Amino acid sequence: MGLLDSIINRAKSDLEYRAGSEISRKVEDTVKKGLEKKRKCPKCGKVLPDSATKFCLDCGAKLLVTCKECNIDYPAGTKFCTQCGKALK
């Protein structure tokens, strides 16, 4: 039975490796799809070059709102500060 056990264990190990690789690939694809979503200017709709952009390159709209209490910047459209809970305008 030693030889049969060895063959079974090798097949099991191979299947586990393939399943793990497939799961890893699916997770990577999902993450890539999430990153591919482009951030757009809320005023003119132009696609922005990156998430660090503070003003729209096309219309000049401010892309951040600042909490007056904590002085922390948030992306435009954020409604509340995560530090103090105050409404952002």
Reported as a single tens digit per residue, the pLDDT across 53-62 is 889 999 999 9
Per-residue pLDDT tens over the stretch 32-44: 666 556 788 888 9
Q: Give the count of alpha carbons within 13 A of 20, CB side only.
A: 6
Q: Which two structure tokens, joined as six digits, stand for 79?
A: 């409604």
pTM of the model: 0.48
Q: How far is CA 78 from CA 14, 46, 59, 67, 72, in A?
A: 47, 19, 20, 10, 12
Report the alpha-carbon distance of residue 89 to residue 82 in Å, rounded. 14
Q: Which helix (H) or strand (E) holds 66?
A: strand 64-66
